[in-house]
Structure 1
Amino acid sequence: MADQRRSPRPERRSGGQSRGGSGGPRREGDRRQGPQRDGDRRQGDQARGQRGARTGSRAPRTGDWSRPREEQRPRNESQAVYDGPPIPENITGGELDRSVSGQLKGLPEKLAARVARHLAAAGMLIDSDPETAYQHTLAARARASRLAVVREATGEAAYASGHYAEALAELRAAKRMNGATAYLPIMADCHRALGHPEQALKLAKSPSVAKFASAAKAEMTIVEAGARRDMGQLDAALRTLELAPLTSKSREPWVVRLRYAYADTLEAAGRETDALAWFHRTHAIDSDEITDAASRADALERRQA
């Protein structure tokens, strides 16, 4: 099912004012005139001690950060998620597309910068280290969970790293926020991965799918065919793929993936000769080798020899 599952990725208010001193300079009249007598001093010390005992909980706390490193307590899970993985120094957040960075402008400047850096780091790692990319998006979500672009990024990274239930929840949240339907193929594939192919088919039949661009429509077709296969409906899976533009002259990745899915389903249906032909037709336009069509064809040829 791995070959059938992989849709393309469509990509706390902090630092409040510091409080200092008593809130402003004292007036001259507030100062005591002349030296304190010993009695006054003792009474004042006692009063201060009593106030400290009554209001000790309001005294500033030093916290673990004031302790030597070896005495600091380990971060709990929520703190670790909030901090996120270390962000490489060369990532500034300027790497984000303008459409993404524009949605962060409503945040305070420092907060927006931190969220942007986490999202940029996730984008750079999502192919090579999807789990770390996912952790970066969780750190961004901990800071800006009300932004659809953050929930979208979290969902896509969760999907890439195999956290399908989390991906589905995040993409649903993003869809509620911005009404976008571009997430539907990934959401449908998450349902497949979670063992609910019938839910995937419901999403595949959504009216908005008809308005998808060619690439997104192809991805939904692949997911729909995969759901049919999950349900043991190989003939229905083949019919679904045969309605797609398999013979398109385009060499775009979506055509490559459509052809590959068709060849793979033909082989699963026992039609090895037809499958071999379509693996060859897939390899012919797969200049970037995004599939293993060539090796699949070789394997079939050896089996038929």
Structure 2
Amino acid sequence: MPDEVTGKELDRSVHVQLRTLSKENAEGVAKHLVMVAVFLEADEIDAALAHAETAVRRAGRVPAAREALGMVAYRSGDFARALTEFRTVRRLSGSSHLLPLMVDCERGLGRHTRALELAASPEAKDLTAAERVELAIVVSGVRRDLDQPDAALLALQVPELARGPKAGVHRLHYAYGDALVSLGRADEAREWFLRAIEGDTENETDAVERLEELDGVAFTDLGPAEDDEAVGVAPTPPDEQDGADEPGSPT
């Protein structure tokens, strides 16, 4: 455990959950939860899993610990284990905020009918706007899997779709553009990919590449020599090449 990790990095709501533990155990579990987040960010799944499993061993009835383990399992593609952990979180906390991920787990397990039933459950009405957006994207994916492109587009037509690009709904705008492409409505899709690009300040999507595809822009990976000729760079004269890479050569 790095010395700089204190556990205080966690959100206050998580510390509230940890109050059910002894002070020493709460501090240790908090540090493990921080490391889960660190390793997930670095895409080091095995390390994240080790910390998540340790947190659950020490705090099995703390929702945040079970959620951390579920998130690692989800990222690794172990949808059965992730679904089990997310269900446990819902039972322990009474919150349905993980419903979109639970639906996606059912989808990942190939249980599309069950995924749609879960998405339409009464708990979906209690989701926040952001969570409803995530659920809409997942349901749209389920419909695409079932070869129902019209229904996939309809699933994305939630109130948040009308929000501006800066409203944090770029993933929804991207999904809508993608659904339009699948229906052969490329001209309309272009508008939504443009919206996604404007809102996607962290480059979470490949909206730029998708837009370039629609505009017929293609790039060829040329070799080094071909690259120089393609951009008009004159080759280095032979007398200047000699000794160019030798130690002590002037720059």
From 114, 120, 125, give the equivalent of 1:199. 114
Deviation at 1:290, TM superposition (A): 1.9
Deviation at 1:281, TM superposition (A): 2.4
Superposed CA deviations along residues 66-112 of structure 1, whole A, max 9, x for unmatched, are xxxxxxxxxxxxxxxxxxxxx22221212112211222222223222
Amino acid at match of 1:180: S
Superposed CA deviations along residues 270-300 of structure 1, whole A, max 9, x for unmatched, are 2222222221222122233221111110011
Q: 1:147–1:287: structure 2 CA closer, same or farther, 3 Å change rule?
A: closer
**CA distance in 2: counterparts of 1:206 and 1:152, whole angstroms:** 21
Deviation at 1:211, TM superposition (A): 3.0
Equivalent residue for 1:168?
83
1:265 aligns with 2:160: no
Superposed CA deviations along residues 107-134 of structure 1, whole A, max 9, x for unmatched, are 2232222211101111222222251223
Amino acid at match of 2:12: R
2:166 and 2:199 in contact (8 A); partners too: yes
Equivalent residue for 1:28?
none
Alignment: residue pair count: 217
Superposed CA deviations along residues 191-226 of structure 1, whole A, max 9, x for unmatched, are 111111222211211223223221111001111111
2:133 and 2:158 in contact (8 A); partners too: no
**CA distance in 1: counterparts of 2:217 and 2:31, whole angstroms:** 51
Greater gyration radius = 1
Q: 1:243–1:92: structure 2 CA closer, same or farther, 3 Å change rule?
A: closer
**CA distance in 1: counterparts of 2:55 and 2:69, whole angstroms:** 8
Q: 1:303–1:98: structure 2 CA closer, same or farther, 3 Å change rule?
A: closer
Two-structure CA RMSD over aligned residues (Å) = 1.9
Task: Give the TM-score of the pair, scaled to structure 2.
Answer: 0.80
- Give runs of aligned pairs for residues 123-202 of structure 1, distance below 5 A: 123-131=37-45, 132-202=47-117
Equivalent residue for 1:100?
14
Task: Give the TM-score of the pair, scaled to structure 1.
Answer: 0.67
Amino acid at match of 2:156: L
**CA distance in 2: counterparts of 1:97 and 1:158, whole angstroms:** 22
Q: Percent identity?
A: 41
From 206, 210, 215, give the equivalent of 1:296. 210
Greater RCO, CA 8 A, separation 6+: 1
**CA distance in 2: counterparts of 1:92 and 1:153, whole angstroms:** 18
